[in-house]
Amino acid sequence: MTIELPQATGSFGDKPQITFPAGGAPEGLHVQVLSQGDGAEVAAGDNIVVHYLGQSWDGGVFDNSYDRGATIDFPIGIGAVIGGWDQGLVGQNIGSRLLLSIPPELGYGSRGVPQAGIGPGATLVFVVDIVGVG
């Protein structure tokens, strides 16, 4: 069985648009490298710098850094962010653009974050540009 993941437009650094396939979200975490960077590998404990767009599988965009015009940074691989980011970004190369399909158990679970537009049990899809570590 082939897993159909969403498609993302744009190149590294450009605000992407995500198009979803017919049917529901796949089970589990899926990480697709859209463009491979040639920088160092991200390690657990690094302070990672990214641009990102986040969208619910069955809903709209709930957050993105492109419209703010500023990257964000945070420690990765140590539980400071959702599990899907910790598991999906560690081991990737700086300069990469990734698509992550994150199941609820590695996102915001059965409660979601309604005030942010993330429903209960939502599968999250992110396009993440790994800008650097610092």
> Is residue 1 over pLDDT 70?
no
Are the C-beta atoms of residues 5 and 99 closer than 8 Å to each other? Answer: yes
Which contacts of 7-14 are long-range, i.e. CB under 8 A and separated by 24 or more positions? 8/34, 8/97, 8/99, 8/127, 10/127, 11/35, 11/97, 12/37, 12/95, 12/96, 12/97, 12/129, 13/51, 13/129, 14/66
Domain ranges of the chain: 26-133
pTM of the model: 0.95
Over residues 79-116, the pLDDT tens digits come to: 999 999 999 999 999 999 999 999 999 999 999 999 99
Please name the fold of domain 26-133.
Chitinase A; domain 3 (3.10.50)
Q: For residues 10 and 20, give the distance between their C-alpha atoms in angstroms, rounded to a whole number.
A: 15
Over residues 28-82, the pLDDT tens digits come to: 999 999 999 999 999 999 999 999 999 999 789 999 999 999 999 999 999 999 9
